[in-house]
């Protein structure tokens, strides 16, 4: 390994029973990663900042350890090469970033198990990292649609009113989530037959209308129901599936949402996997779900340790406590000396959510016969293989809107690209302007869901009236029209292991100015989103790295004077600034109110030319929800190349017959230097009225050609 990437003199190594420490120098201060936290910036402040990692039910707060554990960072060196480092360790730990620049890792157990990923590009680093930890799963196409949720509908009638007003405003919307208020007294595997009477029929009706349903399940199970009335507990008791006290025999008992006291399933135990699988399969016959949302799986407990409290010993009170909230390993969870199948909770605590995710993923596939949708709050290294993640119980504040961009960039580094934040904020009441700007930004989260907490006012995009609904609809229609591009990025992430959302630094690594930018972000290499992140702002300052850029709305070239410089661009309330990078071809499709409908619509291509008049891109397409279509080669893959005045399509794979009925109807070219005199498609000339050209170099071509036909379009 070249000198300067990893340099740790042995004088800085401490290795004892419950305390391990190692210091390493890093070659620059362009350091990214470590999680899960609410970091104020994507590029870390190296001024003696310490971050603790230990999974915890904790609303996003500066410097607090949150729901997941990702001891992974990426560093960009002075020569613009990047490398990544993982400390694979599940114990409570912290890392101190120093201006030398150096890093000090401390952990209270396990081993110092470091993995180095040599890059040299940021995208290579993430690809190498996911090769080691597991590639991200391929999401179902419908799960890339807009999703709606609320803890606190309170009744099916309120939910129906919400669905009706979404329909009234024709706002694109694919997925409805059901939080704990659908349950009877917050008991897993039940539904409230009074307030949610008719829920099974309603979910079937939603499916009939092309929508999908996701139910929440928490990991804790009440032990205090009448004997013979609550099967999840009795079956679990019979099968011996709980996390136990330090004696290894009696179940650990804490308190959570359900009435009475709760016990905690130990998902590292194969018997627990059988128990969970059986219950989830049976529940599918009660509520016809399409996906499962697993929450509170840090695991969360509303006490400090279980009854009767944690014993005073070295496991529960280690000599060193990392920089974590409340400086206690038992706060809001179980005592460290509790026993799991894999050993002490002291060692396995941060693996709880990770251990629950794969069995949930497998049972959703088994229950539905389709690709799994699993949304997990707690994550660990490798969770992206089986789950999506959202950034937790954020707040309806402008700060949270802004920092959500940082979180989404980080989880793409962690191999969990299917990530989002609660749009409009979870805690507190939102405001009209904040929610509107958040709907605009959230329309470009990979996982796009509006969700809020019980006791707060409604904040779905249809509740604020005509103007708000119209703007939300327009922005979501842009998302839906670009879903073929987003889906293709997820295919590439699943197969090659890279990011879906990335920072400008990721693509323009040698441009130092990009290293600190986290107010704008990219879908793949080609589509820039520059959201409004401040109250009252009607313009945004955007940095344009060295490339040809086009305004998404007008197709106009960004003035060359703006390249490698900041420009102030207009962003009235009804607009989020969007740009396309020259050199790329983006597949698109006419939008609709659900992906069920939009998937049948005609396709288009946006061809954004670079300075040399060239561009390339691809389209991945399959049925959107079958399992292992890539492995079984049941998919369609086309590669597009534009050069020397002509567009060529190469069909790399034509293994999905559903593509046969689909058509292209529109080709848009941005950045043409000269107006073509004639256009031909596969040797046949195209009528002049099918071609419209603007002086700005934008050309729109109306065609009708099968998706499965190789296109050869020439411009003379």
Specify whether the backbone of 600 is left (phi greater than 0), alpha (psi in -120 to 50) or beta: alpha
- For residues 113 and 89, the answer to whether their CB atoms sit within 8 Å is yes
Same domain, 25 and 171: no
Q: Estimate to the nearest angstrom the gap between the alpha carbon of 75 and the chain centroid.
A: 22
Taking the CA of residue 253 as centre, how many other CA atoms within 13 Å lie in the half-sphere pointing to its CB?
Answer: 13
Closest listed residue to residue 358, CA positions, set 272, 282, 480, 279: 272
- For residues 424 and 396, the answer to whether their CB atoms sit within 8 Å is yes
Rounded to whole angstroms, the Cα distance separating 356 from 383 reads: 10
574 domain-assigned: no
CATH number at residue 46: 2.60.40.1760
Global pTM exceeds 0.75: yes
Same domain, 358 and 468: yes
424 domain-assigned: yes
Could you give the 3-state DSSP secondary structure of residue 355?
A: helix
705 domain-assigned: no
Same domain, 118 and 21: yes
Mean confidence (pLDDT) of the chain: 97
The last residue of one of the domains, among 446, 463, 483, is 483
Q: Report the pLDDT value the prediction gives residue 4, as an integer from 0 to 100.
A: 55
Same domain, 161 and 280: yes
Same domain, 119 and 145: no
Tell me: the pLDDT tens digits for 241-294?
A: 999 999 999 999 999 999 999 999 999 999 999 999 999 999 999 999 999 999
Same domain, 118 and 211: no
334 domain-assigned: no
Q: Report the pLDDT value the prediction gives residue 56, as an integer from 0 to 100.
A: 98
Residues of the chain with pLDDT under 50: 1, 3
Q: Report the pLDDT value the prediction gives residue 6, as an integer from 0 to 100.
A: 79
398 domain-assigned: yes
591 domain-assigned: no
The last residue of one of the domains, among 422, 453, 483, is 483
Same domain, 285 and 369: yes
Same domain, 168 and 98: no
Helix-helix angle 466-481:432-442, to 10 degrees: 10
List, in order, residues 6 or more apart from 130 with CB less than 8 Å away. 136, 384, 415, 497, 498
Closest listed residue to residue 591, CA positions, set 679, 666, 529, 685: 666
Same domain, 56 and 163: no
Same domain, 148 and 113: no
Neighbour-count burial of 534, counting CB atoms closer than 10 A to its CB (0-12 exposed, 13-18 middle, 19+ buried): exposed
Dihedral angle over CA of 488, 494, 500, 503, nearest 10? -140
CATH number at residue 181: 3.20.20.80
Residue 255: what are its φ and ψ, rounded to 5°?
Answer: -130, 140
The three-state (H, E, C) secondary structure of 383-448, written as one string: HHHCCEEECCCCECCHHHHHHHHHHHHHHHHCCCCCEECEECCCECCCCHHHHHHHHHHHCCCCCC
Q: Report the pLDDT value the prediction gives residue 90, as an integer from 0 to 100.
A: 98
Same domain, 157 and 280: yes
Domain range for 113: 10-125
186 domain-assigned: yes
252 domain-assigned: no
The last residue of one of the domains, among 71, 96, 125, is 125
Closest listed residue to residue 360, CA positions, set 291, 311, 268, 410: 291
Q: How many structural domains does the chain have? A: 2
Same domain, 356 and 398: yes
């Amino acid at each position: 390994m070249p000198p300067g990437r990893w340099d740790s003199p042995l004088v800085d190594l401490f290795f004892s029973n419950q305390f391990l420490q190692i210091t390493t120098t890093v070659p620059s201060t362009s350091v990214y990663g470590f999680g899960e936290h609410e970091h104020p910036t994507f590029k870390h402040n190296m001024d003696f900042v310490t971050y603790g990692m230990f999974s915890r039910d904790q609303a996003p707060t500066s410097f607090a350890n949150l729901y997941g554990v990702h001891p992974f960072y990426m560093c960009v060196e002075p020569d613009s090469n990047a490398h990544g480092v993982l400390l694979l360790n599940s114990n409570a730990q912290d890392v101190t970033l120093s201006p030398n620049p150096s890093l000090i890792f401390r952990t209270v157990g396990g081993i110092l198990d470091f993995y180095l990923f040599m890059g040299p590009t940021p995208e290579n680093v993430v690809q190498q990292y996911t090769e080691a930890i597991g590639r991200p799963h391929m999401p179902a196409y419908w799960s890339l649609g807009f999703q709606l949720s609320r803890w606190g509908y309170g009744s099916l009638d309120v939910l129906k009113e919400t669905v009706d007003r979404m329909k009234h405003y024709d706002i694109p919307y694919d997925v409805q989530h059901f939080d704990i208020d659908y349950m009877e007294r917050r008991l897993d595997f039940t539904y409230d037959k009074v307030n949610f009477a008719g829920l099974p029929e309603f979910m079937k009706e939603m499916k009939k209308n092309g929508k999908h349903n996701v139910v929440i399940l928490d990991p804790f199970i009440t032990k205090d129901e009448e004997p013979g009335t609550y099967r999840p507990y009795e079956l679990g008791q019979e099968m011996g599936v709980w996390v136990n006290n330090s004696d290894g025999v009696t179940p650990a008992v804490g308190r959570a949402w359900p009435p009475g006291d709760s016990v905690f399933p130990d998902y590292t135990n194969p018997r627990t996997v059988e128990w969970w699988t059986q219950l989830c399969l049976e529940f599918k016959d009660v509520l016809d779900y399409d996906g499962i949302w697993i929450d509170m799986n840090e695991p969360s407990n509303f006490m400090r340790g279980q009854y009767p409290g944690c014993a005073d010993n070295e496991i529960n009170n280690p000599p060193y406590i990392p920089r974590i909230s409340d400086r206690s390993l038992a706060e809001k969870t179980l005592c460290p000396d509790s026993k799991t199948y894999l050993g002490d909770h002291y060692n396995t605590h941060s693996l709880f959510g990770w251990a629950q995710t794969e069995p949930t993923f497998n049972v959703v596939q088994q229950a539905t016969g389709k690709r799994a949708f699993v949304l997990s709050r707690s994550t660990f290294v490798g969770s992206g293989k089986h789950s999506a993640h959202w950034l937790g119980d954020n707040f309806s504040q402008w700060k949270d809107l802004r920092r959500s961009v940082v979180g989404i960039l980080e989880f793409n580094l962690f191999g969990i690209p299917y990530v989002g934040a609660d749009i409009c904020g979870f805690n507190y009441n939102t405001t009209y302007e904040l929610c509107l700007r958040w709907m605009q930004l959230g329309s470009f989260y990979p996982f796009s869901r509006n969700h809020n907490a019980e006791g707060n006012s409604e904040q779905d995009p249809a509740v604020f009236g005509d103007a708000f609904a119209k703007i939300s609809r327009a922005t979501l229609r842009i998302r839906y029209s670009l879903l073929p591009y987003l889906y293709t990025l997820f295919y590439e992430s699943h197969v090659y292991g890279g990011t879906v959302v990335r920072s400008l630094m990721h693509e323009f690594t040698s441009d130092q100015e990009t290293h600190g930018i986290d107010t704008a972000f990219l879908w793949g290499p080609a589509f820039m989103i520059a959201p409004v992140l401040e109250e009252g702002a009607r313009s945004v300052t955007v940095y344009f790295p060295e490339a040809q850029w086009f305004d998404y709305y007008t197709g106009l070239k960004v003035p060359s004077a703006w390249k490698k410089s900041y420009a102030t661009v207009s962003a009235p309330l009804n607009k989020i600034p969007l740009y396309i990078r020259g050199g790329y071809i983006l597949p698109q499709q006419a939008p609709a109110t659900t992906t069920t409908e939009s998937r049948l619509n005609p396709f288009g291509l946006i061809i954004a030319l670079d300075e040399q008049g060239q561009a390339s891109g691809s389209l991945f397409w399959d049925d959107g929800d079958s399992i292992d279509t890539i492995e079984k080669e049941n998919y369609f893959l086309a590669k597009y190349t534009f050069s020397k005045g002509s567009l060529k399509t190469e069909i790399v794979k034509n293994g999905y017959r559903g593509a046969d009925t689909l058509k292209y109807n529109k080709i848009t070219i941005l950045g043409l230097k000269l107006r073509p005199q004639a256009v031909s498609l596969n040797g046949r000339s195209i009528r002049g009225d099918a071609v419209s050209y603007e002086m700005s170099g934008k050309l729109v071509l109306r065609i009708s050609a099968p998706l499965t036909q190789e296109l050869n379009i020439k411009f003379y």
